[in-house]
Amino acid sequence: MTIRKSTAMIAAITMLAVGACAKKAPDTLPPAPEGTGTDTGAGTGTGVVPGSQEDFLASVGAMGDRVFFDYDQYNVDAQDQATLQTQSQWLQRNPAVRVTLEGHADERGTRDYNIALGERRANAAKNYLASLGVDPSRIQVISYGKERPAEIGSTEEAYAKNRRAVTVVIGR
Amino acid sequence: MTLVRYLMAGVLATASLPAIAQDQSTAQPQPTIQLPQPEGPRESITGTLSNERTVIAIPALATSSVQNVAGLRTDSLGRQIAEVIAADLERSGLYDPMGPSGIPAISRTEVQAPRFAEWQARNAENVVHGFVDASGTGGLVVGCYLYDTALGSELVRKGFEIQPGDWRRAAHKCADAIYSRLSGEAPFFDSRVAYIAESGPKGNRIKRLAIMDSDGGNHRFITNGQALAISPRFSPDYKKIVYVSYLNNRVRVFIYDVAAGSQKLVTESSNATFAPRWSPDGTQILYSMAVNGNTDIYRISANGGTPVRLTSTPGIDVGGSFSPDGKKIVFESDRSGGQQIYTMNIDGSNQQRISFGGGRAATPEWSPRGDLIAFTRMGGGEFRVGVMTPSGGGVRMLTNSWQDEAPTWSPNGRVIQFFRTTPGREGKSSLWQVDLTGVNMRRLPTPQDGSDPSWGPVLP
C-alpha cells in the first residue's frame, strides 16, 4: 500500500509540473518508482490481470488510451498531455510492459501521405511519453494511415475521432 | 504465356497487299488523330456515347473446322475473341463496336474476302474479320484483319499461334492492332494491372494483393488477406510486384515474385518503409521511410544493397515516380505547408516545386510517354485526378467525384486508371479508367471492391 501511495503522489506532482508549463515537457522528471514489478493496485479484486490491456484501460479510462489531432496536425496539445500523463503513470507502475503507439489519419488524405502523417502523430505521442520518463525502447510505433478508422463515416465528427494516436499494450 | 507471332507467309498470305503495319511492334506509328475534346459539363457526358465514334462491325471469328482444343471449341472461341475485341474498343471510348451479337456470322472464306457492301449497308465504317483454327500441335492459330468498308481495303492484320489458355491475349493483341491503326496511338490493351482487392467492414478492411488483365480478365488473388496489403506496383517485366505489407504488424516494402510465390524485403530496417515504385528499367526501387516521424525518399537497387537518401527536409517527402528516361523523379512534399508536387534528379539534386494553386496536390505519376504527370488534387474535401506537364503547366482535371485517388498510366500514356471512393458508412472503393479527354470514363470490373491500381507495360 505504501508503494502505491507514493506512486500516486509522484504522479500527481508530475501532472502539476507539466500542467504549469503548457506544451513544453518538464526539464527534469521525478525518477520512476523503483523495485515495482507490476502495479498491484488498480486491477486487484476485479479479475483483471495487472499489466494487461484491460488493466491499462481500467486505469486510464474510456478513450484514455488515445489522443486526438487536428486536421493534418500532429502537435500534442494540453488535453493530449493530460491523457499521456495518465498513461505514463500506468506505464511507470508497470515498467515491464511494452506498448504499441498506433498512428491514424482520417480519410481526407491520400494513402501514402496518411501513413507518413500517422507516423508523425504516433511519434509525437511517443516522444511526449518519453519526456515523462517512459523508456522509449518500451514503445514501438506503427502507422495505419487511413486504413483503420475508429469511427466509420464521412463526417467531421468521425474524422475527429479517427485522427488519433492509440496506446495499445502488447505484453512484456 | 508465350505468344508466338505466327508466320504470316502462307497462312495469312494474300495478293498484292501494301506493306501496311505487318508488324507494328517495330515501328511506333505517329499520332495522326486528335482525341475529341470534352464539351460542356463533364458530369453529364461521363459514361455516355460521343456521336463521333467510328462504327466497327466485329462478327464472330470464323473457323475452318470446329475442333476441340484443350476443352475449348474453336467456334466458341471465335465468338469470345470477337467479344473481347469489341469490349476493348468500346472501353477506349473512341469506337462504337457492333457485334458479334446481332450481326451475321461469317464463313472462313469471307475472312479475306469481306462482303463490303453488306457491312456498309449496316453503317459500319470498318469491319474486323478473323479466324480461329486448331494448330495441329495442341495450340490455336488466331488471325484478325481490319478492313475499311468504303475503300474495300485491308488496313491491318495480325496472326498468332498460341497456347489455348492465351486466347484472351490474342484478342487483346488484335484489339491493339486495330486501335493503333485507327487512332495512331501506341497499343495498350495487352497489358496487366496489379491492385488491392478490398472486402469486409470499413473499420477492419481485408486488403489483398491481386492481378488481372487490363480489362479485368484472368483475375487472380495473390495474398490471402491475413496481412493488410497496399500500394502494389508491377515490375516492368511483370515478374515481380513491389508493395507494402503489414505482415507481423510492421509497415514494410516487399518484393513479391509472381512465379515463385515468395517475397523478400526491399531493405532491412526497423523503420516503416512504404510508397514503393520501380525505375523504368526495373533495376531500382524508390521508397519512403519514416524515421522518428520524419519521412524521406530513398532509392535502392532492386537486388538490395545500400539505400541512397534523396530528400532531407523536415517535412513529409513521400511517394515518387521516375520519368520514363529514368533521369528524374516526381514526388510529393509538404515542406511548404500542404502537400505539393516536386521534381528532382535521381541523385536528389535540383528539387523544384512544380504544382501551385488550387489546393493540395499528391500522388504524382509520370506518364510513360514523358509528356504529362498525373496527380490527385485535394481541395474542398474532395479528391480529383488530373494531369499537368512536367514543369507544372497545363493543369487539366479529368474527374469530378468525391474521392478519386492514385492515378496510374496506361502503357501508351493516353488512359489513366485510378480508384474512386464513395462517402459514408457504406462507402465503397472501385477501379475506374478515363482517357485524357476526361470524357470516356469506365468502371473496371473486379470481383470485390478495388483500390491502388498499378498498370504495367504492353506485353511483348
Mean pLDDT over each residue of chain B, to the nearest integer:
89
**B273 close contact with A: CB closer than 8 A:** no
Nearest residue, CB atoms, A142 vs list B251, B288, B319: B251
Contacts of B246 in chain A (CB under 8 A): 142
Among B274, B291, B330, B383, the residue to mutate for chain A (most A Cβ within 10 A): B274
pLDDT along chain A (172 residues), means of 10: 40 38 39 43 66 95 95 96 97 96 97 98 98 97 97 96 97 75
Give the pLDDT score at B99.
87
Is the CB of B203 less than 8 angstroms away from the CB of A123?
Answer: no
Strand partners, A100: A140, A168
Per-residue pLDDT at B115 exceeds 70: yes
Q: What is the predicted pLDDT for the residue at A98?
A: 97
In a domain, A94, yes or no: yes
- B289 in contact with chain A, both atoms CB, cutoff 8 A: no
Distance from CA of A149 to the nearest CA of B (A): 5
Residue of B nearest to A120 (CA): B293
Residue A1 lies in a domain: no
Residue A22 maps to a domain: yes
Question: Does the beta-carbon distance from B203 to A107 stay under 8 Å?
Answer: no
> Is the residue at A29 inside a domain?
yes
Concatenated DSSP letters of B377-414: EEETTEEEEEEE-TTS-S-EE---SSEEEEEEE-TTSS
Q: Is residue A2 part of a domain?
A: no
Q: What is the DSSP string of A23-42?
A: TSPPSS-PPPPSS--S--ST
Any B CB within 8 A of A52 CB: no
Strand duo B382-388 + B396-397: pairing:
antiparallel
pLDDT tens profile B330-341: 999 999 999 999
Tell whether B338 lies on the interface with A, counting CB pairs under 8 A: yes
Q: What CATH number should be reported for the domain holding residue A111?
A: 3.30.1330.60
Please state the domain count of chain A. 1
Range of the domain at A23: 7-171
Residues of B within 8 A of A121 (CB-CB) are 293
Residue A137 lies in a domain: yes
Q: Alpha carbon B288 to chain centroid distance?
A: 24
Closest CA to A144 of B362, B432, B207: B207
In a domain, A16, yes or no: yes
Work out the minimum CA distance from B42 to partner chain A, whole angstroms. Answer: 23
Digit-coded pLDDT (tens) for B252-284: 999 999 999 999 999 999 999 999 999 999 999
Side by side, which strands form the sheet with B262-265? B229-234, B240-245, B252-257, B262-265
Distance (Å, whole) CA B452 – CA B343: 22
Distance CA B96, CA B56 (A): 6
| Closest chain A residue to B426, measured at CA | A153
